[in-house]
């Protein structure tokens, strides 16, 4: 057992943090459209949740227009978007907090209405995901059959991610997180159900991991590896994802990533594999952090339905070094302080998670408000 708890200081990459309560990346669909820019309301939201020496991973943001697949999500690939993100990073830094941005491409989970050319969304293979896509007007439609990317297009992804990482740094972020979880494009390459390619990006585990490693190395070259994290969901089933036997695939990938001196590895626990669509709490499933801890020498962040007691227990066991909280950070802007003193938590209002205005976004009070 370790003496570590949620309020033991920690260094994550280049960041010296005063506690281990991390704000998880949370899609909220409140960016300005057109332009897909961050805005003052988003700056207020993140500023409310910043704390001295605290660490926020800001919401998934598309690396390019063809990476979009949901309404009102922000991008991080244009000069206008860079300028808008400065509102957020300045608000967090003013409170003494640190903030990364999560880099995202939705791949086959998009729709022609989001594509710049009106065509099929990009994917490793022309295999449609089961489920629905949220259209720009917030109605739902079946997910379409995507278009398989050419070998050259896949190889070009690394530079597109690197450009997005460069934009994030210009926008004032302290670093970036690579989103390779929850059924989005990079995970689509990892898993056999969505990757049926026969070129160097398909087939063997080594080939399916290739683009994730190429993207990571390209971003490292831009940011420096100590300003880069990556998020994986080895046992996730969100968005029609999932590998029948995740251990061989993710053991290989994590061992390869371990050689790259990243700031952290961020693992989603299997009990939280609903990815925001519903409350899930799978029982009798393995702990991803526990299973992969021995393969990872650096900082490991665990996410998924944690409360104060379960987070403290995982840190004490040494399976993770920090804990990411999502939904309770939505409804408790001062979550670290509430956890520190054991205060009651404000319940969240799920219908206000996606889209809308201030309600369920910036109107949750801190303990001492009013």
Two tokens, residue 299:
């900082």
Strand-strand pairing, 228-232 and 21-23: unpaired
Whether 357 is in a domain gets the answer: no
Tell me the CATH number at 261.
3.20.20.70
Supply the pTM of this predicted model.
0.96
Two tokens, residue 266:
């961020």
Domain that holds residue 252: 10-352
Whether 94 is in a domain gets the answer: yes
pLDDT at 2: 78
pLDDT at 278: 42
Q: How many domains does the chain have?
A: 1
Q: Is 100 a catalytic residue?
A: no
Q: Say how far residue 351 (Cα) sits from the centre of its chain.
A: 21
Q: How far apart are CA 332 and CA 152, in angstroms?
A: 45
Whether 361 is in a domain gets the answer: no
Give the chain's length. Answer: 370
State the first-to-last Cα distance of the chain, in angstroms, to the nearest integer. Answer: 41
From the list 45, 46, 184, 354, the catalytic residue is 184
pLDDT at 369: 60
pLDDT, tens digit only, all 370 positions of the chain: 778 899 999 999 999 999 999 999 999 999 999 999 999 999 999 999 999 999 999 999 999 999 999 999 999 999 999 999 999 999 999 999 999 999 999 999 999 999 999 999 999 999 999 999 999 999 999 999 999 999 999 999 999 999 999 999 999 999 999 999 999 999 999 999 999 999 999 999 999 999 999 999 999 999 999 999 999 999 999 999 999 999 999 999 999 999 999 999 999 998 654 443 444 444 566 799 999 999 999 999 999 999 999 999 999 999 999 999 999 999 999 999 999 999 999 999 999 999 999 999 999 999 976 4
Whether 89 is in a domain gets the answer: yes
pLDDT at 228: 99
pLDDT at 368: 78
């Amino acid at each position: 057992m370790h003496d570590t708890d949620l309020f033991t200081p920690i260094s994550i990459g280049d960041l010296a943090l005063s506690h281990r309560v991390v704000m998880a990346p949370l899609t909220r669909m409140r960016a300005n459209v057109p332009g897909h820019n961050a805005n003052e309301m988003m700056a207020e939201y993140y500023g409310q949740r910043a704390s001295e020496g605290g660490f926020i991973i800001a919401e998934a943001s598309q690396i390019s227009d063809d990476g979009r697949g949901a309404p009102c999500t922000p991008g991080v690939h244009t000069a206008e978007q860079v300028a808008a993100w400065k509102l957020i990073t300045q608000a967090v830094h003013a409170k003494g907090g640190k903030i990364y941005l999560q880099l995202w491409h939705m791949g086959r989970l998009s729709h022609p209405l989001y594509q710049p050319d009106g065509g099929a969304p990009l994917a490793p293979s022309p295999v449609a995901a089961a489920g629905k896509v949220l259209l720009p007007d917030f109605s739902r439609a079946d997910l379409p059959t995507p278009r398989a990317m050419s070998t050259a297009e896949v190889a070009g992804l690394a530079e597109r991610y690197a450009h997005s990482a460069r934009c994030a740094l210009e926008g004032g972020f302290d670093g970036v997180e690579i989103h390779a979880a929850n059924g989005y494009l990079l995970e689509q390459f990892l898993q056999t159900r969505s990757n049926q390619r026969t070129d160097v990006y398909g087939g063997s585990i080594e080939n399916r991991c290739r683009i994730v490693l190429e993207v990571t190395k390209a971003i490292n070259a831009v940011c420096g590896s100590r300003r880069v994290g990556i998020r994986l969901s080895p046992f996730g089933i969100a968005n029609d994802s999932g590998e029948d036997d995740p251990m061989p695939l993710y053991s290989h990938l994590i061992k390869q990533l371990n050689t790259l001196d990243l700031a952290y590895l961020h693992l989603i626990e299997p009990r939280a594999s609903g990815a925001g669509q519903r409350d899930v709490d799978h029982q009798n499933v393995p702990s991803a952090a526990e299973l992969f801890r021995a393969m990872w020498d650096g900082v490991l962040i665990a996410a998924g339905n944690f409360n104060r007691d379960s987070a403290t227990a995982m840190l004490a066991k040494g399976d993770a070094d920090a804990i990411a909280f999502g939904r309770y950070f939505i409804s408790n802007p001062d979550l670290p302080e509430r956890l520190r003193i054991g205060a009651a938590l404000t319940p969240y209002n799920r219908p206000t998670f996606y889209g809308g205005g201030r309600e369920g976004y910036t109107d949750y009070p801190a303990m001492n408000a009013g």
